[in-house]
A and B are shown apart, each in its own frame.
Chain A
Amino acid sequence: MNTNFRVCPETGFHVHKPAELLMKANAVAAVVFLLVGGTFGLLVGLTRWPAVHLLPADQFYLVLTAHGLNVLIFWIIFFEIALLYFCSAVLLKCRLATPKLGWVAFALMLIGALLNNYIVMQGNSSVMMTSYTPMGADPLFYLSLILFAVGALIGTFIFFGTLAIAKAENTYEGSVPLVTFGATVAAIIAVFTIVSGAIILIPTFLWSVGLVAHIDPLMYRMIWWAFGHSSQQINVSAHISIWYFIAAVVFGAKPLSEKVSRTAFLMYILFLQLASVHHLLVDPGLSSNYKMFNTSYAMYLAVMASMVHGLTVPGAIEAAQRARGFNKGLFEWLTKAPWGNPVFSGMFISLVGFGFLGGITGVVMGVEQINILIHNTVYVPGHFHATVVIGTTLAFMALTYWLVPVLFRRDLVMKGLAKWQPYIFGLGMTGVSLFLMGAGTLGVPRRHWDIGFAGTGMTHDFPAAAYTMMALNGMSVVLAVVGGAAFCIIIVASLLFGRKLGEEKSSPALAAEMVTDDEYKTLHASGGITVPGTLCLTFIFFASFAAYYFINWKYLSQTWGIS
């Protein structure tokens, strides 16, 4: 037996030790940047709470820039690199390709992230994450992002290398696991994303030091969003893989059918990386035909894929629970789920929030014409706090609760708080999402320090409801930050002070017994609909989706004529 591996006493996973060290480093860095970015988020929320209005304008724009970069880029991508190593080396029982290069990648990402924070703190790069030209930042701002991206690209190729090694050394039989398949989709989208980022950020860096004369602002927007939007599609593929993963380890569930779930992932590669035009729907210079094709992912085929996952993930859980005997009524399988286990509750809140809040609003605001009502209002951050925070971040948090005992062999501390953490964070972020979308519907702009326009000698009176909603948003931010801080404290304290597990098993069990084919047989014996509860939930989802879609068309039809 290769001494570079250890066998996890609880899960039976063969863990390649050099890979494990890299996963630990990337995951810890991720949590640190979440802590930093979340702190900036608190300052943003408190400044946009009209009665508090915490920071002066210059600091607000600085902190808003730093908030976006730390949470949307650094926290998420560090975590995704750890996830890619996990889905290749651990799930395929394989050694990681070139761990040394893995450390080079980690170093580049860390240097890029630290340098970026340093430069933004200097105060002359408050250009927001999007850094639209011709507004310019310090050259090191672009350089730091390029360094980070190169590191992430190396990490992605180490994942591909590990897949190749696993295949060559026959560490698994047949096809890769579904979760690894999903991670592969995320990695393929990551390559497209990072290459797009390089195509636009390298010339912009050269422009900032005077070597390139002009960056066309429309070209910048177009290519930057091929990077900026696609990077969110990496997150979608990654967190949906995590949903399947958690359904497997908590319930012992297998997918309803491998074919459907894999085809849905495959459609992400083909269609999800369109949609950069979601950000350009009210731009000059692009034709309506192009906007309609791109914004609808060709024909809503990526939306279809997400809606399929929205059925198959809870469907897999329902089938497993029913096979185990939780058969009463439509929803016993759900009510008897382990709601006190943050691994499950975090995952399920992520699923519901991503679908109902993030998914529906994303499609509606991505309609070419409806976007006229929504572009650059606070509706937009309202939407993406549902997708990226409730969807991606909460799924990553849920997985982290599972990873700490597996990778670090330490028991979680403060389990009582951990039980509540996904609810606190989820509720806070649901508030953020709903109240920002409400205020955005009333026209409140995003990235704006003072909607009272003091000192201009002019004013615009937003409706009182808009002010109320920005205040409620501020309160929700505080609640979400309490939940986010609880997560960071639990994880850091567990790593430092958690009881060492050794060969002991942690509670709740990390890997549920797999539901056997025999158990599934009783479920299929009836022949009819095997997962009626899930089907019922998806019908509720569909009704909400359709209602909200038509309400917004109605709302659009009531504004000025535009042609």
Chain B
Amino acid sequence: MSISPPSDKVWWKEPIEKTELIWISIVFVWGVFMTFMMPYWHVVGDQNLPNETYRVTPEQFMAKAQGMVDQFTVGEHGPQKTPIVHPPAGSDVYLVARLWSWWPVLELEKGQSYRVHLSSLDWQHGFSLQPANINIQVVPDYEYVVNLTPDESGEYSLICNEYCGIGHHLMIGKLLVVE
């Protein structure tokens, strides 16, 4: 009885039902399998977030981003005249999250890898690249370096999916992928 003390005082010596044994074996093996899948994907899979993180101040991060923008700007985008930056393939690129915009607009080449540095100048934000649906937390004081390899050309949207105050839903940017 579940609501009174077990009738058999030495309940830990009761035999286990066969049904239970079958099920416990299945779920245990399944758990071991799922445990194995994550490191396995680190070895064979192409989608794994890295561990590379640095401490950074907003000023330091903004200075690095500004340096990239000064060197590689190729145009302007949108009503805010956000610079479009076309950095060399394989290089370090910087994406600034702040209340309430993404800066600058990155123009990447399809099939090339980039070291994308992510940080916030103020509160926490959420890097959400659509429609590729890649979602990464962006935290102030920390610079996260993620290697991204676009697999299709087109105009992607960068939306914020970490609540960041009253203008959260206005925080949208673009990321361009060219052939």
Contacts and interface: CB of A to CB of B under 8 A. Distances in A.
B101 to A, nearest CB: 9
Contacts of A457: 78-80
B179 interface: no
B172 A369 contact: no
Query: Which one of A177, A284, A441 has the highest number of Cβ atoms from chain B below 10 Å of its Cβ?
Result: A284
Interface string A245-287: 1011100011111111010000000000000000011111111
Given A307-B27, A376-B161, A284 B1 contact: no
Contacts of B150: 560
Contacts of A245: 2-3
Contacts of B4: 91, 172, 177
A308 B24 contact: yes
B159 A460 contact: yes
Contacts of B170: 453, 455-456
Contact of A562 (B8, B27, B46): B46
Query: Which one of A126, A176, A372, A445 has the highest number of Cβ atoms from chain B below 10 Å of its Cβ?
Result: A445
9 contacts: A260-B17, A288-B49, A303-B27, A367-B34, A376-B137, A514-B1, A529-B18, A530-B17, A563-B48
Nearest to B31: A300
B128 A377 contact: yes
Contact of A561 (B133, B140, B147): B147
Contacts of A508: none
A258 B12 CA distance: 7
Contacts of A257: 11, 14-17, 20
A445 to B, nearest CB: 4
Interface string A526-563: 00111110110010001001100100010011011111
Given A260-B16, A561-B147, A288 B172 contact: no
Interface of A: 57-58, 61, 91, 126, 128, 132, 134-135, 172-179, 216-218, 221, 244-245, 247-249, 253-260, 262, 280-288, 292, 296, 299-301, 303-304, 307-308, 311-312, 315-316, 363, 367-369, 372-377, 441-443, 445-451, 453, 455-460, 462-463, 514, 517, 528-532, 534-535, 538, 542, 545-546, 549, 553, 556-557, 559-563
A214 to B, nearest CB: 9
Interface in B1-55: 1-9, 11-12, 14-20, 22-24, 26-28, 30-32, 34-35, 37-39, 41-42, 45-51, 53
Contacts of B34: 296, 300, 363, 367, 549
B104 interface: no
Nearest to B9: A174
Given A284-B142, A531-B17, 13 more contacts: A175-B9, A218-B139, A259-B11, A288-B42, A307-B23, A312-B20, A372-B136, A375-B136, A443-B133, A457-B79, A538-B23, A542-B27, A560-B134
Contacts of B169: 57, 448-451, 453
A61 B14 CA distance: 54
Interface in B131-179: 131-137, 139-144, 146-151, 157, 159-166, 168-170, 172-174
B72 interface: no
Nearest to B55: A285
Nearest to B128: A445
A369 B15 contact: no
Interface of B: 1-9, 11-12, 14-20, 22-24, 26-28, 30-32, 34-35, 37-39, 41-42, 45-51, 53, 78-80, 113, 118, 122-124, 126, 128-137, 139-144, 146-151, 157, 159-166, 168-170, 172-174
Given A218-B142, A535-B23, A178 B172 contact: no
Nearest to A214: B141
Nearest to A247: B2
A505 B9 CA distance: 32
B124 to A, nearest CB: 5
Contacts of B149: 560-563
A172 B163 contact: no
Query: Which one of A283, A286, A315, A530 has the highest number of Cβ atoms from chain B below 10 Å of its Cβ?
Result: A283
Given A369-B38, A557-B45, A560-B134, A256 B166 contact: no
Contacts of A304: 24, 27-28, 31
B161 A308 contact: no
A312 B122 CA distance: 50
Contacts of B172: 453, 456, 458-460
A444 B105 CA distance: 21
Contact of A376 (B41, B135, B151): B135
A134 B2 contact: no
Nearest to A252: B1
A377 B135 contact: yes
A445 B161 contact: yes
A217 B161 contact: no
Given A218-B139, A257-B15, A376-B161, A57 B80 contact: no
Contact of B134 (A216, A445, A517, A559): A559
Contact of B5 (A172, A281, A311): A172
Contacts of B143: 284
B1 A248 contact: yes
Nearest to B32: A299
A137 B124 CA distance: 14
A262 B13 CA distance: 13
Nearest to B177: A560
Contacts of A534: 19
B123 to A, nearest CB: 5
B2 A178 contact: yes
Contacts of A546: 30
Contacts of A442: 131, 133
Contact of A61 (B6, B37, B163): B163
B165 A445 contact: no
Contact of B2 (A177, A453, A455): A177
B5 A560 contact: no
Query: Which one of A178, A280, A375 has the highest number of Cβ atoms from chain B below 10 Å of its Cβ?
Result: A375
Contacts of B126: 375-376, 445
